[in-house]
Amino acid sequence: MTEIIDRPRILQPAMGRSEESQARYEAHMQQKRETGDTSCDLCRVAIMPSLSNKIGSGVLEIAQKHISLVENRFPYAIFDGQEVLDHHMLIPKEHFGEFQDFSPEAYMEYMGSLAIIMQGYDLTFTRSPSSKGSSIKNHLHTHAMRFGRLIDELSYSKNDGISLVRYKGEDWLHPL
């Protein structure tokens, strides 16, 4: 069994990616820096084919003129003390920083689609354009997540860079 003495115990983990997802994200951002790529990732992603999502007993197709629902390429593994099963984003196809920048038609599409997806996800949130936590600046988007198990403990080792998680009702730690 691995000794985890140096792992601080966090009882209410906020959010985080899996090690694999975080490594892909960091490699992507490093490549953008090295190549001087200042393009908006969401502008590229928003024009990709939209997801068909099963919501309740039906299938929701969000592929409209102004918006797309896409799978997050670097999804969170945990959010608000829960395992994240699905992490999608509702994205305007045009580069809008705030709702007031939308055309009336784009705004109605976005809000209508948001109302529908809120019924099939456990959480939706949109960061403000001034959010310091967002790596995407000035391209408004909404995260939509479905949750799984509750997390009892999250630990991280600076020495080996390994994150472990214990789910409620379980006695063992899983790699994150």
Over the stretch 150-171, which tens digit does the pLDDT of each residue have? 877 766 655 555 566 767 777 6
162 contacts 173 by C-beta, under 8 angstroms: no
Residues 47-68 have pLDDT tens digits of 765 555 444 333 445 557 888 8
Phi-psi region of 18 (alpha: psi -120 to 50; beta: other; left: phi over 0): beta
163 contacts 19 by C-beta, under 8 angstroms: yes
pLDDT at site 104: 94
Q: What is the Cα–Cα distance from 166 to 154, expressed in whole angstroms?
A: 6
- Domains of the chain and CATH, by start: 15-29+38-175 (3.30.428.10)
35-49 mean pLDDT: 82
pLDDT at site 150: 83
pTM, two decimal places: 0.75
pLDDT at site 12: 37
pLDDT at site 6: 46
Residues 68-126 have pLDDT tens digits of 888 888 888 888 888 899 898 888 888 888 889 999 999 999 998 888 888 888 888 88
What are the CA-CA distances from residue 124 to residues 34, 115, 119, 148 (Å)?
33, 10, 10, 15
Between CA 3 and CA 11, with CA 7 as vertex, the angle to 5 degrees is 125
* Per-position b or e across 59-85, b if 16+ CB within 10 A of its CB: ebebebebbbbbebebbbbbbbbbbbe
Average pLDDT, the chain: 75
pLDDT at site 105: 93
Confidence of residue 9 (pLDDT cuts 50, 70, 90): very low
* Nearest alpha carbon to residue 122 among 91, 96, 141, 148: 148
For residue 122, count CB atoms less than 10 angstroms from its CB and return exposed for 0-12, middle for 13-18, buried for 19 or more: middle
What are the CA-CA distances from residue 141 to residues 104, 153, 172 (Å)?
17, 30, 36
